[in-house]
Structures are given as C-alpha cells and as structure tokens.
Amino acid sequence: MDFLQYPVTLILIAANILFSIVGFSNNIFLSKTIGWPYYEKRNKEYYRFITSGFLHADWIHLFFNMFTLYFFGKNLELILSLSGLGGKFAYLTLYFLGLIAADIPSYIKHKNDSNYRSLGASGAVSAVIFASIIFSPWRSIYLYGAIQISATIYAILYVIYCIYMGKKNQDNVNHDAHLWGSVFGFVFTIALIAVIRPELFPYILEDIKKLSVFGTNELSSVLQFVLNSR
C-alpha cells in the first residue's frame, strides 16, 4: 500500500511522537500543555484539550496508542476518501473533535480539582477505532504480528482495558476518555453516513451479521459496494 494514500495518519503519528518526546524531558513544557481542568476553567486555557492529546505518559503508552492509530487510522483515512465521506477533512475533524469530546466529561468532573491532570491521544484514537469498524467490523488484525483477532473484538478489549485502568486511577492517563472517544467516533461516523451516503447502511448491517472472532481478510460488503460504485 502506498504511504502517500494515508499522509494524515502518518503526520498525526509523527506529531504525537515529537510532542511526547519533548514532554518526557521538559517539565515546564509538560505543565503548560497537559490537560488540567482547574486551569482550563480559571485561566481559559482551553487549548489544553488539544495539546494534552499529543502528550503521553511514557514510551509504552505512546507505542500502544500509535500502534492502534496506525492500523485503524490508515484504513479509515482511505475509506473516507474512497467513499466520498469528506476524505481527509472529515478524518481530521473526527480526530480533533474526538480529542475534545472525550475530555469534556473529565473537565466537568475535575474542573475544581487542582490536583487532577491528564494526557494522551486516547480519545481521538478511540474515535478512529470505532469509526473504522463501522466499515470493516470483522477485519483481521494481528497483535504482536502473530495473534489474529477481528477488529471489533480488539475494539471491545481495548475499551475494557481502558475502563479498568481508569478505575485504578494510578497515572495521569485519561483512560475514561477512551469510552467517550469511542462513543463520539461511532456517533460522528453514523451521522456522517446518514447525511452524505445513507445508501451505505444496508451494507453495513449486512456486515454486522457476519460475526467472526478471528476476523477475515475479505473486503466487507460496504467496501465492495464503495469500490464498485466508483
């Protein structure tokens, strides 16, 4: 696959890596960009909704999010372009609104808590995951290059893990954002399809019925329809 077909995904990954590396070693930079509802409210530093989404707690956190963004994001970027659903503009809109929407519940909950801070691309990545599986719910992915699993099963496990970590609350990662990012990504994409290409819905429903734990490498019905109608 030509890398030029999904440049937005690669640029987003590069930006996350560069921004996170700076944050790893520069506490002043980190304090000015991390998600901090207390200061977002009092100083109107709403830019933190975005900047905190390009920071990560450590290399493992960064790798996990970027690994997921790569496999789901590149497919979504292509699908939105091929299907006439807004292309790269819709993809970027989903990503950045996903960052904001996923942080709003935490902002409301912690806006008076000066000790609460959060960071991570979790909200946007979750939005991308759940937008992507609408078009290929049972596509196979390979964890660690060896364990075959369907996209939907992976997405479910991903959210369960993040909810579990959110309840433990042992780091500055906004694990709750995964859940709200997932909801936003799903609703945004369904609304996008309803407005621009509602004729895709029968094919989406047809794909959902083809339950598969380990997934398949065959094109989904909706993607076959999109390619045949070009």
Give the per-residue pLDDT at 144. 65
Taking the alpha carbons of 16, 21, 23, 29 in that order, is the dihedral positive or negative? negative
| Separation CA 102–CA 99 (nearest Å) | 6
What's the gap between Cα 143 and its chain centre? 17
CA 75/CA 141 separation, integer angstroms: 12
**CATH code, residues 3-228:** 1.20.1540.10
User: Using one digit for the tens of pLDDT, what is the confidence trace for 12-69?
Assistant: 999 999 999 999 999 999 999 999 999 999 999 999 999 999 999 899 889 989 988 9
How far is the C-alpha of 207 from the C-alpha of 80, rounded, in Å? 18
* pLDDT value of residue 219: 82
pTM: 0.88
Parallel, antiparallel, or unpaired for β 147-150 and 140-143? antiparallel
DSSP character at residue 34: S
CA distance to 39, 49, 111, 179, 191, per residue, from 105 (Å): 16, 12, 10, 10, 21
Q: At what angle do helices 176-196 and 87-110 cross, to 10 degrees?
A: 140
What are the residue ranges spanned by the domains of the chain?
3-228
- What digits encode the pLDDT tens for the residues 145-195? 678 889 888 878 877 877 777 777 665 566 678 888 999 999 999 999 999
Give the residue among 78, 162, 94, 154 at the shortest CA–CA distance from 127: 94
Contact between 171 and 114 (Cβ < 8 Å)? no
pLDDT band at 211 (very low <50, low <70, confident <90, very high): confident
CA–CA separation, 33 and 195 (whole Å): 35
